[in-house]
Amino acid sequence: MLRSMTGFGKGEARFKSGKITVEIKTVNHKFFDATLKLPNGITAFEDRIKEVLQKKVKRGKVNLNLTHDGAPLKSGRISINEKCAKNYHKELESLKNCLGLNENISMKDIMALPGVLSFDSAESSLASFWPKIKKALDMAIDRLVSDREKEGAALCKDLLARTKKIDSMLAVIKSRAHLNIDEYRRRFADRVKDLTGGRNIDMGRLEMEVAIFAKNCDISEEITRLQNHLSNFNKTILSGGEAGKKIDFIAQELHREINTIGSKASDFKISKNVIEIKGEIEKIREQAKNLE
């Protein structure tokens, strides 16, 4: 399914000590470009959030705003196990008496023993907070993608309608391609008569000139290539995925072929349809800029 680069998604994660809200807005851009607005304490997750985003959003300017309502993240905490320290002190006093030692047992000695002092790092606190962020982020991304797909479906319908119009106009051009040569033969014969004062025309010379013109102004190859490009265009649209750049490329090829037809044609109706097809192609290129 085609996706627009324009969309919005919002997600929330509620938990005992607060709430996280993620809002994502995307607009057109040639590449993936994310700008994140994160509260203090959550900036450590910036790279991880961008990595999650880029798995679902391949192209577009992304603006993400994350808010956290609740107690601030802990920056790290030191804990002392008093019970453990008392037990150590008791056992050390008993050992000192048993050995008949007079040395004092210092605080430093007890604090150095395993289990007495512990430190909960900020990294540990952040790690436990990530699943909450991920929940809100995933919800926002899913809604964003749904919004982009909805607009993409509308763009797909519009593009298919335009290629159908181009195909109809191309059929008219194809049906009149031979008239281009017939009209040239007539006009060339009339011109020769005017220049010779109405005397007999050298038909061999006339047909040779018409044959040269027919060779230089034959548009059958351009029509065939245009039809192939239109077929490829429709397949690309219906296949979905990251089609924006490819659609723009095919539109450029369509424009090149129709330009060539326009430069070769002398028939009024062919020229009129060429102009209208160019207009449709320009609109297609504008729409392609909105596609992922």
Per-residue pLDDT of the chain (292 residues; tens, 9 = 90+): 889 999 999 999 998 878 999 999 999 998 999 999 998 878 889 999 999 999 999 999 999 999 988 765 555 566 788 888 888 888 888 877 887 778 788 887 787 788 776 655 444 456 778 899 999 999 999 999 999 999 999 999 999 999 999 999 999 998 887 665 666 666 666 665 665 555 565 566 656 665 555 556 678 888 999 999 999 999 999 887 788 889 999 999 999 999 998 887 777 888 899 999 999 999 999 998 899 8
User: In sequence order, what are the beta bridge partners of 278?
Assistant: none
Instruction: Give residue 247's pLDDT.
Output: 92
Q: How far apart are CA 116 and CA 80, in angstroms?
A: 6
pTM of structure = 0.68
Of 72, 67, 76, 77, nearest to 17 by C-alpha is 72
Instruction: Give residue 252's pLDDT.
Output: 94
Question: Is the separation of the CB atoms in 206 and 189 below 8 Å?
Answer: yes
Q: How far apart are CA 97 and CA 94, in angstroms?
A: 5
CATH of domain 7-73+124-148: 3.30.230
Which strand ranges, in their side-by-side order, compose the sheet holding 7-15? Answer: 7-15, 18-27, 60-70, 32-37
Question: Is the separation of the CB atoms in 149 and 292 below 8 Å?
Answer: no
CA angle centred on 282, ends 281 and 285, rounded to 5°: 90
CATH of domain 149-288: 1.20.140
CA distances from 219 to 78, 120, 144, 227, 261 (A): 82, 77, 46, 12, 6
Instruction: Give residue 122's pLDDT.
Output: 46
Instruction: Give residue 123's pLDDT.
Output: 46
Instruction: Give residue 121's pLDDT.
Output: 45
Structure tokens at 175: 């049906």
Question: Is the separation of the CB atoms in 247 and 281 below 8 Å?
Answer: no
CA distances from 288 to 59, 160, 192, 235 (A): 12, 12, 50, 15
